[in-house]
Amino acid sequence: MSTASIGHNISLERRAWNIRRHALLMGEVQGQGYIAQALDIADVLATAYFHAMTFRPDEPDWEGRDRFLLSNGHYAIALYAALIEAGIIPEEELETYGSDESRLPMSGMASYTPGMEMSGGSLGLGLSIAVGKGLGLKRKNSDSRVYTLFSDGELDEGSVWEAIMSAAHYKLDNLIAIVDVNNQQADGPSTAVMAFEPLTEKLEAFGWFVQRVDGNDLAAVRDAFDAAKAQMGSGKPSMIIADTLMGKGVPFLEAREKNHFIRVEAHEWQLALAALDERKPS
Amino acid sequence: MKPAPQSAPAGAAKPRLTTSAMIASIASEGQRTKPAPFGHALNALASGDARIVGMTADLGKYTDLHIFAQAHPDRFYQMGMAEQLLFGAASGLASEGFTPFCTTYAVFASRRAYDFIHQTIAEEDRNVKIACALPGLTSGYGPSHQATEDLALFRAMPNMVVIDPCDALDIEQAVPAMAAHQGPVYMRLLRGQVPLVLDEYGYTFELGKAKMLRDGYEVLFISSGIMTMRALEAAKALEADRIDVGVLHVPTIKPLDTQAILAACAKPGRLVIVAENHTVNGGLGEAVAGLLMREGVHPAYRRIGLPDEFLAAGALPTLHDRYGISTEALCTQVRAWLK
Please give the residue of chain A at the shortest CA–CA distance from B84. A159
- Determine whether the interchain pair B116/A159 forms a contact, defined as Cβ–Cβ distance below 8 Å: yes
pLDDT tens across B268-305, in order? 999 999 999 999 999 999 999 999 999 999 999 999 99
Confidence of residue B27 (pLDDT cuts 50, 70, 90): confident
- Judge whether A256 and A197 are in contact, CB under 8 Å: no
The answer to whether B162 and B253 are in contact (CB under 8 A) is yes
Chain A residue numbers with beta carbons less than 8 Å from the beta carbon of B79 are: 166
Of the candidates A134, A139, A166, the beta carbon closest to that of B79 is on A166
Identify whether the C-beta of residue B256 lies closer than 8 Å to the C-beta of residue B287. yes
Q: Confidence class of residue A62 from pLDDT cuts 50, 70 and 90?
A: very high
pLDDT band at A31 (very low <50, low <70, confident <90, very high): confident
The contacts of residue A195 (CB under 8 Å, 6+ apart) are none
Domain boundaries, chain A: 3-277
Q: Is it the case that residue A195 has pLDDT exceeding 70? A: yes
Does A132 contact B91 at a Cβ distance shorter than 8 Å?
Answer: yes
The mean predicted confidence, pLDDT, of chain A is: 95
- Alpha helix (H) residue ranges in B190-283: 226-238, 258-265
> Between chains, do A128 and B95 touch, taking CB under 8 Å as contact?
no
The mean pLDDT of chain B is 94
- According to the model, what pLDDT value does residue B298 have? 96
Contact A165 B116 (CB under 8 A): no
Express each pLDDT in B175-226 by its tens digit: 999 999 999 999 999 999 999 999 999 999 999 999 999 999 999 999 999 9
Rg of chain A in Å (alpha carbons) = 17
Q: Is the dihedral of CA B105, B110, B113, B119 positive or negative?
A: positive
How far is the C-alpha of B101 from the C-alpha of B54, rounded, in Å? 5
Q: From the CA of B78, how many Å to the nearest CA of chain A? A: 9
Does residue A9 carry a pLDDT above 70? Answer: yes
**Chain A within 8 Å of B71 (Cβ-Cβ)?**
no
Report residue A1's pLDDT band, with 50, 70 and 90 as the boundaries.
very low
Is pLDDT of B242 > 50?
A: yes
Alpha helix (H) residue ranges in chain A: 12-30, 35-47, 76-85, 126-139, 158-169, 190-193, 199-205, 218-229, 251-254, 268-277
Contacts of A135 in chain B (CB under 8 A): 77, 89, 92-93
pLDDT of amino acid B152: 98
Cβ distance B123 to A163 less than 8 Å, yes or no, reads no
**Do A123 and A72 form a contact (C-beta atoms < 8 A)?**
yes
How confident is the model over B10-17, as a mean pLDDT?
64
Is residue B89 within 8 angstroms of chain A, CB to CB? yes
Give the type of residue at A114: P
Q: What is the mean pLDDT of residues A199-210?
A: 98
- B95 and chain A: CB distance < 8 Å anywhere? yes
What order do you get walking across the sheet with A67-70 strand by strand? A67-70, A146-151, A175-181, A238-243, A209-214
Q: CA-CA distance, A256 to A253, in Å (whole number)?
A: 5
What is the fold, at CATH topology level, of the domain defined by A3-277?
Rossmann fold (3.40.50)
Does the pLDDT at position B40 exceed 90?
yes
Facing residue for B88 by CB, picked from A111, A121, A159: A159
Give the residue on A whose Cα is nearest the Cα of B117: A125
Three-class DSSP labels, A67-108: EEEECCHHHHHHHHHHHHHCCCCCHHHHHHCCCCCCCCCCCC
Amino acid at B72: H
Q: What is the largest CA-CA distance in chain B?
A: 64
A251-281: per-residue pLDDT in tens?
Answer: 999 998 888 888 899 999 999 999 999 999 9
Catalytically active residues of B are 83
Average pLDDT over residues B96-109: 98
Q: What is the mean pLDDT of residues B77-97?
A: 98
pLDDT at A6: 56
Task: Give the bridge partners for A179, in sequence order.
Answer: A150, A241
The contact set of A with B (CB < 8 A) is 109-111, 117-119, 121-122, 124-125, 127-137, 139-140, 158-159, 162-163, 165-166, 169-170
Q: How confident is the model at residue B22 (pLDDT cuts 50, 70, 90)?
A: low
What φ, ψ does residue B214 adopt, rounded to 5°? -155, 145
Q: Which domains does chain B have, with CATH numbers?
A: 33-195 (3.40.50.970), 208-338 (3.40.50.920)
Amino acid residing at B317: P
Task: Name, in order, each residue with C-beta under 8 angstroms of B109's C-beta and a sequence gap of 6 or more.
Answer: B83, B87, B102, B117, B130, B132, B150, B186
User: How close A68 gets to chain B, by Cα (Å)?
Assistant: 12
Residue in chain B closest to A120 (alpha carbons) equals B119
According to DSSP, the β-strands at B219-223 and B245-249 are parallel
* Nearest residue in B to A111, CA atom: B124
Strands B52-56 and B99-105: parallel
Residues forming a β-bridge with A176: A147, A238
ipTM of the complex: 0.96
State how far the Cα of B158 lies from the Cα of B218, in Å rounded to an integer.
36
